[in-house]
């Protein structure tokens, strides 16, 4: 039981390996992560690392789940720190800031799936938790319109009946809502479409598709936020 030192050491070198892997990731992308190179950078030979990670894929998985957790915490924190009325704005900005700070990590979870990689069930759980945070904040979008805008029926102008009907039926487990407090298709649709819009500009930005166009992507993002909170 007093072998805590060993476990501590083990965890420590695993963390160091992942840190080096992250550095490689931002330099040469997903494919640039090399077990051999990581080991060499840590001052040991290649096969030694296989005492800590069964395979390159396991290391990748660890990187991905860590990223999910980090992003989820960051967003939850941002939401918690914001005034209730600004929750969505805070989440949106926190999401983009995080993505811009570490583009490769954003692409690690929301980008092109890694070649032969299949996410273990453990990963999807963490992913769902992250989605819960995002959906929760996105669902509040447009509620501001209800407050100062129209009458009883709130900010609803045009019914998105098809989508809402579809979502009312499905999106059960994946949604952020526990059993019983599940909202109608309207809220679900708002959350879903808000998320896709945020991802649209963030992903294009992070992938560098805006470079050369000469405008400031953050202005575009702010405009999209404004349009979203106005219910547009």
Q: Which residues bind a copy of itself (CB under 8 A)?
A: 28-32, 107, 110-116, 124, 157-158, 160, 162-163, 166-167, 169-175, 189, 192-193, 196-201, 203-204, 207-209, 212-216, 219-220, 222-224, 226-227, 230-232
The two three-digit tokens of residue 224, written as one number? 């999209």
Interaction of residue 27 with DNA, rule CB under 7 A? no
How far CA 185 is from CA of 60, 139, 225, in Å, comes to: 36, 11, 22
Q: What gap in Å lies between CA 110 and CA 200, rounded to an integer?
A: 11
The two three-digit tokens of residue 93, written as one number? 């900005």
Query: What angle do helix axes 4-28 and 35-42 make, rounded to 10 degrees?
Result: 120
Partner that binds at residue 224, options DNA, a copy of itself, none, CB closer than 5 to 8 Å by kind: a copy of itself
Interaction of residue 37 with DNA, rule CB under 7 A? yes
Spatial CA neighbour of 99 closest among 20, 193, 26: 26
Which window, 44-52, 91-99, 105-113, 129-137, contacts DNA (CB under 7 A)? 44-52
Output the smallest distance, CB 16 to DNA, in A: 10
Output the smallest distance, CB 227 to DNA, in A: 44
Q: What gap in Å lies between CA 168 and CA 187, rounded to an integer?
A: 9
Q: In terms of CB distance, is 43 or 208 closer to a copy of itself?
A: 208
Interaction of residue 28 with DNA, rule CB under 7 A? no
Residues 6+ apart with CB under 8 A from 91: 75, 78, 79, 82, 133, 134, 137, 138
Interaction of residue 115 with DNA, rule CB under 7 A? no
Interaction of residue 51 with DNA, rule CB under 7 A? yes
Interaction of residue 161 with DNA, rule CB under 7 A? no
Output the smallest distance, CB 111 to a copy of itself, in A: 4
DSSP letter, residue 31: G
Interaction of residue 91 with DNA, rule CB under 7 A? no
Partner that binds at residue 157, options a copy of itself, DNA, none, CB closer than 5 to 8 Å by kind: a copy of itself
Q: In terms of CB distance, is 57 or 222 closer to DNA?
A: 57
Q: What gap in Å lies between CA 91 and CA 40, rounded to an integer?
A: 39
Interaction of residue 19 with DNA, rule CB under 7 A? no
Spatial CA neighbour of 202 closest among 39, 115, 91: 91
The two three-digit tokens of residue 199, written as one number? 């991802």
């Amino acid at each position: 039981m007093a072998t805590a030192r060993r476990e501590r050491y083990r965890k420590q070198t695993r963390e160091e390996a992942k840190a080096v892997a992250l550095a490689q990731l931002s330099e040469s992308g997903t494919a640039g992560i090399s077990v051999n190179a990581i080991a060499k950078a840590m001052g040991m030979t290649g096969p030694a690392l296989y005492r800590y990670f069964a395979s390159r894929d396991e290391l990748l998985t660890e990187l991905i789940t860590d990223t999910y957790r980090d992003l989820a915490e960051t967003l939850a924190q941002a939401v918690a720190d914001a005034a209730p009325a600004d929750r969505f704005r805070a989440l949106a900005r926190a999401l983009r800031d995080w993505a811009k700070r570490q583009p490769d990590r954003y692409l690690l979870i929301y980008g092109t799936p890694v070649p032969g990689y299949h996410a273990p069930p453990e990963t999807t759980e963490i992913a769902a938790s992250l989605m819960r945070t995002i959906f929760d904040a996105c669902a509040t979008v447009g509620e501001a319109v209800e407050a100062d805008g129209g009458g009883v029926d709130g900010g609803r102008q045009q019914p998105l009946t098809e989508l809402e009907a579809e979502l009312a039926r499905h999106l059960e487990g994946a949604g952020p809502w526990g059993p019983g407090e599940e909202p109608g298709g309207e809220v679900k649709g708002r959350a879903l479409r808000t998320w896709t819009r945020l991802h649209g500009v963030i992903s294009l930005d992070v992938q560098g598709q805006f470079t050369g166009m000469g405008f400031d992507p953050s202005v575009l993002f702010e405009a999209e936020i404004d349009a979203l909170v106005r219910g547009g």
